[in-house]
Amino acid sequence: MPILGKIFKKAFFSRIAGVYDILVNFIESHKKAQKLLRSVINDNDFVHHIILEGSEMVKGAEIYNKQNIEEVFPEVCQAIQSRTVQQTILNKTMHQIDDMLHNGQIEDKDAA
Amino acid sequence: MKELTRKLEKYNVLEVDDNTKAHDRLHVHETDESENGGGHGHNIQEKKRVSYKRTQTEELNKKIEDSKRQTKIKKEYIEKKEGGINEMDESSRRIIQTSFSNREDMDTDINQVGKTTFEEIMVEIRLKYLLILKSIYWNHFDSAQMASDTFIALNEAVDIAIDNKDSQIDDWSTILKWIITQDTDVRKYERTV
């Protein structure tokens, strides 16, 4: 039974993590796109109309995220957030090492 | 005498108790008022925000309607060409007369308006927005901030939105469908965790 529980918990966690990942990226990307669109096109009326459409989508996602994920599974959210931070730090470090190798500051052996 | 002093003491004590109770009551009343006042202020702010948004949307819709009407009138004018202005009603004639300063401007502007309508501009900007969104998704995936399944789901939603670019953006409904079909099994076991 404990083994079943572990398998079950893992599957459950991965599904919730997937949904949370989708929601977070969806909201963040829409907000970024709205900023970029404002900076690219100066016509406020047309852009404002499209941004309102995007904001409605973001609002829907935020409400769903709050009601069904963050309030129901706060521990899962925290775990995913910390995992994302770890991933980001590792990526940044990897890029930095690549840059240093490219500039000749370190050798292949050190980079590996 | 002793009885009198006892009575006095009792009276004093009672008076003190009453005072403290009254003070407490007053304090409670004050805090209630402050709490209610704070909540009321917050509500007013929220209402103001909502009404401001509503008026903004109404203004925008009005502008859109106006521009649609102007485009329609200009199109009618193009179809009628010479002498067509005399057949128009007064408000339409005013729009044509105020839109163009001279005959040459009128012709060039009318030709341009005839080619690009309001809806076409909206569709173009919507498409631009969706393409920006798609590039952001790709960037996130490329920098390993997004899982592959997430990327597939979000990218598919944007693709569907691009296919339906003539109507309002509705990628959230596509994603919600995906989430719900994934979520149905999870919801059954919600209580066990």
Closest to B162 measured CA to CA, from B135, B134, B141, B120: B134
CA distance, residue B85 to nearest chain A CA (Å): 29
The predicted model gives B8-18 an average pLDDT of 48
For B107-148, the pLDDT digits (tens) are 555 555 556 677 788 888 899 999 999 999 999 888 878 888
Give residue B117's region: left, alpha or beta (phi > 0; psi -120 to 50): beta
Other beta carbons less than 10 A from residue B131's beta carbon? 13
In this prediction, residue B192 has a pLDDT band, given cuts at 50, 70 and 90, of: very low
Q: For an interface test with A, which of B59, B62, B125 has the most A Cβ atoms less than 10 Å from its Cβ?
A: B125
Tens digit of pLDDT for each residue in B52-111?
778 877 877 787 777 777 777 766 666 665 555 556 666 666 665 665 555 555 555 555
CB contact under 8 A, B169 and A50: yes
The Cα–Cα gap between B150 and B152 comes to 5
